[in-house]
Structure 1
Amino acid sequence: MISIRRLFVLISILYSAVMAAGFVAVHLGWLYPEKVQNVLERQQSEQDSIHRQLDDTRREVLVRARDYSTRSDIVEYLETGNINAISAIFTAEQFKLLDLNGAVFLPAEEQGRIQSYHFQDGIVEANNPRLADWATRQQWLQCSRVSQHSASSGYTRFDNRPYITSSSQVVDASGQSLGQLILMRQVNDLMVQKVARSTDSSLQLIPLNSALRSLDAPLQQPLANIQACQSCPNGKPVFCLETTPRVSPPVFAEPEGVATVISFSLLPLLVSLMALGLLIEPIRKATRLLERHHEEGVIEPIKMESPVRILEFEQLGEAYNAVAAKVSEQRVYLEAMSNTDRLTNIPNRRAFDLAVKEAWNRVLRRPGHCIALVMVDIDYFKEYNDSFGHQAGDEVLTRVAQALQKCSQRADELVARYGGEEFALIIYVEDALELDRYRQRLREVIAELDIDHPTSPHSGKLTVSAGMSWINQSGSWLNEFSSDYWVELADVALYQTKLMGRNNSLLQVMHKDMKKENHNTFEDLQSMKAELKDQLEQSRRR
């Protein structure tokens, strides 16, 4: 059995597949080949432009060779061998001005002396023997193109570097050949960058690779990076270049086209989902919400959201929310019960522990605050129970709790039953004078109860003992202590008060000048409390 949702999804998927197949067919058979041809033509035009610019550079060197071969001082040198005739021509300044890197005079007579100049790194080297040998063996002619007027030009390598070489015949007045003048220009990064600027291309030299295509060979397909070499007729490369074309190879499908196909493909699916969403989606949302509530262990009201108000959905939501509200009330009640002492109806030990940590964190965040923790114990309460019974003792606990609540002035202060006949208070006092008034107030509210306690050695009335731990001017120094230390310090003060005779209070002050290493550690306080308990027990037995 198939659901309506699944049926609509299958139809939408089929429609999307047909759309995608049609898109691929159109691109594969028509649009993409046209894009490829267009990009190929533009990349080929860019390559032709680079090749023409290199050829123009080669012809420029050839023109210089022709012009210099007719100079009278060069003719004089080849006729007479007078080196002074050309000493002022091929200097470092001239080489730099002419953008040349070498010049060779090759006499027509075999006995003639070859004169050469090599310009490299700003230095002119005369009569380089390697250059002379290179010229003698006519290596410069291996990749040259012979042109009219007894001149040639081409590319060659010398000292493992690529050069443009151009030669021109030098003749005397009668037209007799005196020899050859060879000019050289190195194909280096500087020259390549000039070509790149002239053609508005991204161009760089790369290592020789005989497997690469020739610069004048046509491209077969568009490329992201085009590598080609200027080669001799024998196929041996002289230098190789890498070009990043201005136009990249086309992608099979442009993002805009893909987005259009996806949009049309998803259209029926969106329509079906919108229609089905009016009925199915509100239920699915409610189900997911209930599952999440189950995982989190909570029950909260839900809202049956739907663009169209459906009676059954609203009735279902109202019924569930009524149950959730009832459960929420019971949870709040149980939460309050778990934090409230059933006898005295004030916060219990659990609530006190949470309040202590919260108060401690608050004073850590707020420097300069003063806060006190007070531990209160009913004096000789066991004897009172033994004399009047537990019901009377429970009534005393309730009345003492109500009296202690009168000492609390602020909403964020706390009076809690700590355990047995012991109570704990968290109060905010700004100075010692206010703290002293609080201690006096504590004695007064207990005295106002006027509860007879014949077995108590203190005037036959019910009294209490208190231990106080006062934080004076909170700050970062409290990071050396803990909330447990604060409670333990007040507890030790309480036992010291009881050991001193009860019906009194003892104050312990925590202040910013305290250094943890100079005061009792938490473990020391625990040991002190244990010793005080033993002493109290011994005094009770006596």
Structure 2
Amino acid sequence: MFTIRQLYTVIAVIYTLLLLVGIITMRVLWFFPAEYDDALAVQQSEVNGLISALALKRNQLEAVTQDYAAWDDTFEYAAGDNPEYTDENFITDTFDAQSLNAVVIVNPDSDILYGGFYAGEDIHALPDELAEWTRLASNEFFSNQVTSGFQTINERIYLIASSPITPTGESNPIGGWLLFMQAIDNNYLTVLAEVARLNMTLKIPPYSVDSVNLKMPINEVMAIRQGCLFDDMKHPSLCVNLRHSNGSGPQMFSSRLLLTLLIFSLIPAALFLTLLNLLIDPISKATKLLERSNSDHTLHPILYTTPVRILELRQLRNAYNELVHTIRQQQARLEQLSNTDRLTNIPNRRAFDEALETSWRRMLRHSHSVALVLVDIDYFKRFNDHYGHQTGDMALHQVAQALHACARRADEMASRFGGEEFALILLADDARSLDAIRTRLHTAISNLHIPHGYSAAGKELTVSIGIAWVKDSGQWLESIGKEEWLRAADTALYEAKAAGRNTSMLQVLSEEIPLTESPVLSRLPDSL
């Protein structure tokens, strides 16, 4: 026979034990694995952020290297026709502006034509270790495409970008290669860490071949992670110590958890169930939202509400939503940087290539009349030579903004194509619209009133324009390809410059008119 006190005591003990066992079981099998996975996801995101930030630095250096390599001056120097090129272009201001430590130019036989090393305030001859590396560099750095990578040379790390030297607007012939090198140290990583919002330091070479590859998925939460990027020879080329923002991750049991277990073991079962529902429902909704975010790779803010305002849940929701907002801003910023030309602040060649592909696919599906326009500043080398590169950069920016303003519709764009050349994709329904485009472009540049006393085309800065107009697009374009569209615009630009510059030439592409190499003069300058 039990007394009420005894029965209550037995029930309370059993209840407490079951509650403890139940909560501990939930902690071990559900909550802690979910927290651990979340912590692992945060750390994986930070590792991915580091890799993306380094990739962005590589893309920026590749873009600068390609801009220089695409100059006619660079091509002439590699051919031995412009010996003053390096003295005029690779000065201390150039190294400072592009954050360069070394510049190397090699000929098609991989012989070094120029090697400059910037240390402190002066430019010196290329150190022996960099010259030796250049002579022994793999084919990866001497190909027909722009490439880059991190290299450990004499226990010092460099980010090296290589671009084939070609004439402006062409991919052949290759006159050699241009290499830009940036030394990687803790100051370099500090700036990178501020942009990516990471806490990291550089590991000093030499590196072990057993180093962890940062590009491999992580499977363990740790406060400080050591990892490396590997070169094409499978050797570690850049290693860092990354201190994660969430430290060593969640703990299985903490003093707060033990106190919570004690409190929950003393409250009535009904109240416990009520409170349990208040806690489980929003956590379940948040967990499902996180699982959905993980499955579709899209971050969603937490929008749940509870009948009773629980501070910890609101803090968790607000903290997570702030994190989602921050990550979205970073993603948008990185995407903008990767598609924007740093000098002119308009879309770059990469963005143009994407827009060209999108426009071409749209024209294959539906009938449109679209003009691909290539614009080249007349006698820009003379402008740079006599007014200076800083003034030249200002002129490039003004011209870019003027052309950008000419792309007025949402599906139109203006971009920097390379050097002093720009590319636009504009809608032109008929010949009148096409003539209005040509007039608008020339007028936009003329209204800048940029003096150019060394131009043979006029007293002010002018442009030559090549237009390839696709009239009434459709499936017939499948026999041509977007490359032919671009080539037609380039041919028209060439003819415009051959015709005396400060004018425009038109190449029409239609189902009835075959593609030719003979553009027509749109209008002479004196009739503007």
Which structure's CA Rg is the greater one? 1
TM range, smaller chain = 0.3 to 0.5
Normalization by structure 1: what TM-score?
0.43
